[in-house]
């Protein structure tokens, strides 16, 4: 059974708009069958892209799902073999649902409600 460890920087119940400004992250593990194993929230002492990258490496994260990320950190994480799904906008729940179904892509914008014009 394969297992992936995922990290999502948060701003409230949304994916944080910027990787380097997140002070809270959610970490979870998911199996290839879609079962969730580990599930925890980590509050960082301050917003720091360097500390967040360190946490990602120390926790052996396989994939991060984030909003905007500076090119320097994107390239560093890719070099460390971390999958980066960036420019994702949406609530934590909608992002997790799309990810667990195997359909989340970088650049996805997810709305929880339909908008009528």
Q: Comparing C-alpha atoms, which of 20, 23, 25, 33 is closest to residue 6?
A: 25
Cα 107–chain centre separation: 13
Average pLDDT of the residues of the chain? 91
Residue 30 burial by CB count (10 A; 0-12/13-18/19+): exposed, middle or buried? buried
Give the pLDDT mean for 47-56. Answer: 94
In order of their start, the domains of the chain are 3-100 (3.30.420.130)
Residue 100: pLDDT band (50, 70, 90) is confident
Burial class (CB in 10 A: 0-12, 13-18, 19+), 51: middle
pLDDT, average across residues 35-57: 91
Q: What is the mean pLDDT of residues 53-71?
A: 96
Is the C-alpha dihedral spanning 6, 10, 14, 19 positive or negative? negative
Residue 47: band (very low, low, confident or very high) from pLDDT cuts 50, 70, 90? very high
Q: Which two tokens stand for residue 23?
A: 């002070």
At 1 the pLDDT is 64
Q: What is the mean pLDDT of residues 79-106?
A: 94
Distance CA 110, CA 15 (A): 10
Q: How confident is the model at residue 78 (pLDDT cuts 50, 70, 90)?
A: very high
């Amino acid at each position: 059974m394969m297992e992936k460890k995922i990290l999502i920087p948060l701003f409230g119940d949304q994916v944080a708009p910027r990787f380097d400004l997140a002070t809270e992250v959610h970490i979870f593990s998911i199996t290839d069958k879609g079962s969730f194993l580990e599930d925890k929230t980590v509050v960082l002492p301050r917003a720091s892209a360097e500390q967040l990258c360190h946490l990602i490496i120390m926790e052996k994260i396989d994939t991060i799902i984030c909003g905007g990320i500076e090119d320097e950190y994107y390239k560093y994480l890719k070099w460390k073999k971390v999958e980066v799904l960036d420019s994702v906008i949406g609530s934590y729940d909608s992002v997790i649902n799309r990810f667990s179904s195997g359909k989340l892509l970088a650049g996805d914008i997810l709305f929880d409600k339909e908008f009528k014009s």
